Chains A and B, each alone.
Chain A
Amino acid sequence: KAGVTQTPRYLIKTRGQQVTLSCSPISGHRSVSWYQQTPGQGLQFLFEYFSETQRNKGNFPGRFSGRQFSNSRSEMNVSTLELGDSALYLCASSLAPLEAYNEQFFGPGTRLTVL
């Protein structure tokens, strides 16, 4: 069974631009979560989607948004990029929502660099 895939693996953008990252969960998994990883702040939860609905959201500004499609694939969008948005963005999928007893499987991440 294929793992969680994320595209692209690397991105370079400039301040003010917007970016869209994509995540394909493991087949059969309906929950997708997004995390931001930076050296300073570590791993921080962005949001979780289940059955095309956002179930939970972390403490990030509204410039960070996401969505989930009927095939469970998810995208996250960051508008008006700032230098501080440079990070590794990780996607994780699971069978059930985070509130249930379940394991999350992580993708390799998308490395975003904002210049």
Chain B
Amino acid sequence: GDSVTQMEGPVTLSEEAFLTINCTYTATGYPSLFWYVQYPGEGLQLLLKATKADDKGSNKGFEATYRKETTSFHLEKGSVQVSDSAVYFCALKVSGANSKLTFGKGITLSVRP
């Protein structure tokens, strides 16, 4: 079945540090890929997405590139802020009658001033 694997957390960084969160996937079809963010006490918000190989999703300084050859969708940000502290989820969706979002386990990011 479809699955998403995220790197183990939590991750703690200093403000302005470079961020990379690894995400790899297995899928039976050709998936769309997503990064969601969850702030404390809130639901999930879509951060960025990519729907085909070599697409780059970007938003709020975050970027991720759909790499079909390595089945990866790593999230990066050049300079993190304290306000980026949250839980980040990688997810995939394969189109079809049984389409659903499949999530990774999530990783908690803490950014200290």
User: For A90, what are the chain B residues with a Cβ–Cβ distance below 8 Å?
Assistant: 43-44
Report how far A109 CA is from B44 CA in the complex, Å. 9
Report how far A52 CA is from B32 CA in the complex, Å. 26
User: For B106, what are the chain A residues with a Cβ–Cβ distance below 8 Å?
Assistant: 42-43
* Number of chain B residues close to chain A: CB under 8 A: 24
User: Taking the nearest CB of chain A, how far is it from the CB of B96, in angstroms?
Assistant: 6
Report how far A41 CA is from B36 CA in the complex, Å. 17
Report how far A75 CA is from B43 CA in the complex, Å. 17
Are the C-beta atoms of B98 and A56 separated by less than 8 Å? yes
Are the C-beta atoms of A108 and B42 separated by less than 8 Å? yes
Report how far A49 CA is from B17 CA in the complex, Å. 42
User: For B83, what are the chain A residues with a Cβ–Cβ distance below 8 Å?
Assistant: none
Contacts between the two chains (Cβ within 8 Å), count:
54
A40's nearest neighbour on chain B, judged by CB, is: B105
A45: interface (CB < 8 Å):
yes
Report how far A58 CA is from B1 CA in the complex, Å. 12
User: For A109, what are the chain B residues with a Cβ–Cβ distance below 8 Å?
Assistant: 43
Query: Which of A42, A99, A105 meets B95, CB within 8 Å?
Result: A99
Query: Which of A42, A98, A108 meets B100, CB within 8 Å?
Result: A98
Going nearest first, the 6 A-B pairs with the smallest beta carbon separation are A106-B43, A43-B103, A99-B99, A106-B44, A98-B99, A45-B100
